[in-house]
Amino acid sequence: MTDAETTPRTGKRVLLAKPRGYCAGVDRAVQTVEEALKLYGAPIYVRKQIVHNKHVVRTLEAKGAIFVEENEEVPEGATVIFSAHGVAPEVYEQAKARSLKAIDATCPLVTKVHQEARRFAAEDYDILLIGHEGHEEVVGTAGEAPAHIQLVDGPDGADKVTVRDPEKVVWLSQTTLSVDETLETVARLKQRLPLLQSPPSDDICYATSNRQHVVKEIAPDCDVVIVVGSRNSSNSVRLVEVAVDAGARAGHLVDFAHEIDDAWLEGARTVGLTSGASVPDELVQQVLAHLAERGFADVEEITTANERLTFSLPQELKRDLKAAAARG
C-alpha cells in the first residue's frame, strides 16, 4: 500500500512524484555546455537542443551558447557540442571536414544503444528499432547501420516489418519510450517473429522507467496529473500518457506554471505533479507555488526509487579542463 492510498482524502493536496526531473545524462549534457563556456569562452555552438527543454535552452543561450541545426552553421574551426540524444557517424565526419572541435555530450545510455546497433549490424542481423520517427535519438541510432535498421513506430508498426531471415533479427529501442507500449510492440513483433532476440540489457533508460513507475503509483488517486516538460521531450509526453492510462482523470503537459489552466483544477481534490528527465527542479517548485496559491498547499512526496547514478564529463572536455588546471 502506498502513502497515497493511506492518506485520507481531505482537503486539497499535491502528490509529488519522486524520482522526477533531471537524469544523469541530462545533468552531464547541461554541465558540458556550462563548463565549455567557462573554459573556452562564448560563443559555444551546440548542434540541436542540448536537451529537450525550453527553459534550459534559453538559460544556456543567455550564457553564450548558440544552438544550430547542422554543422554547416558553425564557423570553421569553432567548438561544437553534440546533444544528449546522440548523432549518426556522418555528423562526426562533417565536423571533421569543417575542422570543428567536437565535444560529444551524448548520454552514455544512448551510446550503449549505438554500440548494440553496430555490433548486431556487423553480425548481419536485421535490427528493428522501436521508436518515434524523426526523433533525434532515432535518427542518430539508425545512422549507425542504415542498411540493417528499420523503424517500428508503436505496436501497429509491427505489422509492416519485413526481414531477410526470421532467425536473425533483434529489437532495440529509443531510450525514452513508454515501457508498457514498448513491451506491447515487442509482443506484437514476436507474434510474427517468434525467434526475435532482445537487446543484451534494457534499452529504455533507468530514469524513464523510474519516472513512469512513480506516476503509475500516484495516478489512480489523482483528479489531474501535471507533467512539467516541453512538447518535443519524448519522455515528458510519455508521462502524460502513462498517467492517464494508469487511472488519472486527466493529464496535462506544461513548460511553465503560468500555462496551467485554472479550469483543470476545478473540482479537483488531488493533483499529481512530476517532471520529465530534462526539467530543472526550479520549474517544479514554481508549479508547487502556483498550486499552493489555489489551495493545494498540502504536498506529499511519493518516492518509489532513489537515483544515485552520475556520468563523468566527455573525455575531450575533461582533457582540456585538466590541461587548463595544470597551467594554473
114 is in an annotated binding site: no
Among 127, 107, 105, 103, which Cα is nearest to 117's? 127
What sign results for the dihedral spanned by CA atoms 31, 204, 306, 235?
positive
Give the residue from 117, 118, 114, 73 showing the smallest Cα distance to 95. Answer: 73
Determine whether the annotation assigns residue 52 to a binding site.
yes
* Residue 137 a catalytic site member: yes
Is residue 130 within 8 Å of 158, Cβ to Cβ? no
**Is 290 assigned to a binding site?**
no
Is residue 148 annotated as involved in ligand binding?
A: no
Q: Is 236 annotated as a binding residue?
A: no
- Residues with Cβ within 8 Å of 32's Cβ and at least 6 positions away in sequence, in order, are 50, 81, 103, 105, 313, 314, 317
The response to whether 175 counts as a known ligand-binding position is yes
Strand 65-68, strand 44-47: pairing = parallel
Q: Which residues pair with 18 in a beta bridge?
A: 303
Q: Is 230 annotated as a binding residue?
A: no
Closest CA to 222 of 291, 282, 289, 285: 291
107 is in an annotated binding site: yes
Q: Is 235 annotated as a binding residue?
A: yes
3-class secondary-structure state, position 78: coil
Q: Assess contact for 178 and 236: CB atoms under 8 A.
A: no
Sign for the CA dihedral angle at 277, 280, 282, 286 comes to negative
3-state secondary structure of 188: helix
CA dihedral 31, 23, 248, 260 (to 10 degrees): -10
Annotated catalytic residue: which of 116, 136, 137, 217? 137
Task: Tell me if 23 is assigned to a ligand binding site.
Answer: yes
**135 marked as binding residue:** yes
Give the residue numbers of the binding site for dimethylallyl diphosphate: 52, 85, 135, 233-235, 278
Give the residue numbers of the binding site: 23, 52, 85, 107, 135, 175, 205, 233-235, 278
Give the residue numbers of the binding site for isopentenyl diphosphate: 52, 85, 135, 233-235, 278
Give the residue numbers of the binding site for [4Fe-4S] cluster: 23, 107, 205
Active-site residue set: 137
